[in-house]
Structure formats: C-alpha cells, structure tokens
Amino acid sequence: MARPMDGAKTWLAVAREVGDLLDNVDETSFGAAVTELLTPGRRWFATGQGRSGLVASMTAMRLMHLGQDVHVLGEATAPSVEAGDGLIVVSGSGETPVSLHYVRRAKEHGARTLAVTAHPSSSLAKLADVVLCVPSRDTAQFSGSLFEQGSLLVLDAVVMALAAGREGEHARMQARHTNMQ
C-alpha cells in the first residue's frame, strides 16, 4: 500500500490515483453494466454500506433523473424487491455481510444484481449477475476513499453512456431535478 504524501499539493496525488483508476476500468464490464441498466421497464434498487451507500444513493438519484424507476434500498418509501427488478450493490471489498445478504435475498425474489466492487473475485462478484470492477487497490488515501471516489465517477460515466444519443436528454434530466431547493 502506498504511503501518504508529505507536504503541499496532496490533491495532485489524489488526482493521479483517480486518473490511474479511470485508465484501468475494464471496457467490457463497463459495457455490461450499461447494457444491464438499459433493460426496459426494470425497477432498480441501490445499496451499499457507509460511504459506498452514499455513492449508491447518488447513482440512484442520477438514474431517477434519467427517468428510471429507482429506489434506495432501506429507505422508508422503497417497495419490496420482486422478480424482474435489479439491485445495484456498491462494496469495495465485496465481502460486506449486509450487502451479501441483500444480494442473496434479491436473487431469492428473482431480481438481477449488479455488483460494483474493487475485487472481481469477491463473494459479491461471485453472487452477482453483472460485475463492474472499480480497480482501486493501491492508494495513499485512507481506507476505501479511492474506491468510493472511483465508483462515483465510473457510475456517473455509466449514466452519461445511458443518456448518450438521446436528443434532449439533459433537458429532461434537468426537468426531473428537484425544484424544492
């Protein structure tokens, strides 16, 4: 594991790490995630624990902006997961017990699962129907910071790919953006 940088301009170290991560995202797994999210009529649920859960929530918000029927798992207004639904699970380790439980339960109910993880051979990846690997293992940052940063950016890129080629999509997304601020 890399050591933290001493002195000024540590933000440049973060920028290099994020840039390296993005350079190493697998195009095939990225494309598989985009294809999975393009499934017409599928309701989506998003989850993760800790900061990964915040990334999952931000992704759910952007999918809502795209007009998808999406919910954050565990929120009071989230309906039950049913056959044909999809579950996005963000977990750096791919071993978080709560996340693994959610994937197993979703699969029992006939839902598809999309894992976003740094570990493509993790328990989560083995359970999931589709795996989007966010390669973030070597970092000078604390704990899972690079994974969480990379996951947000990669999932925002997925949203960009979903919106690509749709005339007027940004205007429709803006119209769905909250007006209660």
> How far separated are the first and last CA of the chain, in Å rounded?
42
Instruction: Pick 143 or 69 by higher pLDDT.
Output: 69
Q: Under DSSP, is residue 77 helix (H, G, I), strand (E, B) or coil?
A: coil
Half-sphere exposure at residue 3, Cβ-oriented, CA atoms within 13 angstroms: 3
Q: Which residues are catalytic?
A: 148
Right CATH number for 31-138+149-163 from 3.40.50.10490, 3.30.70.600, 3.10.105.10, 3.10.620.30?
Answer: 3.40.50.10490
Instruction: Pick 40 or 5 by higher pLDDT.
Output: 40
Share of the chain above pLDDT 70, in %: 96
In which band, very low, low, confident or very high, does the pLDDT at 2 lie, cut at 50, 70 and 90?
low
Question: Which pTM value belongs to this model?
Answer: 0.92
Domain ranges of the chain: 31-138+149-163
Residue 54 has pLDDT above 90, yes or no: yes
> How confident is the model over 64-91, as a mean pLDDT?
96
- For CA atoms 64, 28, 25, 113, the dihedral sign is positive
User: What secondary structure does DSSP assign to 8-23, as a single string?
Assistant: S-HHHHHHHHHHHHHH
Tokens linked to 180: 């209660």
Residue the block writes with tokens 């990669």: 154
pLDDT by residue (tens digit) across 115-126?
A: 999 999 999 999
